[in-house]
Structure 1
């Protein structure tokens, strides 16, 4: 992330907030301790604008006013600012929650965000159909086109025509 705009999770940070963070980092003694020991720190790095990052996350100084401004910006956004799950050894970076509305039971399936609809249909068959049989309906909180494509791929994986 570089240039005049940055990204904090899924939230676009305005240039004035980036500038504010950069200036506040210069005045934070804890951050200077980290910067002075960068050669010993693997997870921290400075970008080309001398802004401190921990991996892909921006280090926010201990400045109550700045933190409040960031939280206000985050909560006024229609997007989630949660950075997501850490990647597993198998590169899973998301959890697919499948709920049986009748029994109120839930299955939590590790997946990757880049899985195709076909791959999700395979996982559904392996993990859900194996235990509960073929569902008569699927309700999705995603785009209706996703549910339609998923149902089509799922029935294909069963050997039926959609």
Structure 2
């Protein structure tokens, strides 16, 4: 397990994960196309809902930029499906329960709350270019600011 975070310019780590609505998402199927991987801590929590609904509203604009969006959390697919259905989220939400992909991106980190330390998902996003390399990284992104940052960077690809 490497917690060495990836950097802009690095080749994006390969992945294949189970996702919402019976889908599988993989880097192989996205080859040659730009995509956004965004890591979020927990489905159906206030911040994650704000972020996901913001992306859903921006899907037409992101689609015009030919950008595929995939959300990744440690939640099981059953919980992700309920979240997607509740808010009408059309883009895939992938399950990374063993946080293997999160480890490769350096988003499974030590956190602390109320004096207790634990490991959890850092809210982070990675814009991957059609060439398979990381073009932009946003760590500890604020849910309400996320979409505007992504749209601006995607438009510059």
Scaled by the length of structure 2, the TM-score of the pair is: 0.25
Higher helix share: 1
Q: Kindly indicate whether structure 1 or structure 2 has the higher relative contact order, using CA contacts under 8 Å at least 6 residues apart.
A: 2
Select the structure of larger CA radius of gyration.
1
Scaled by the length of structure 1, the TM-score of the pair is: 0.24
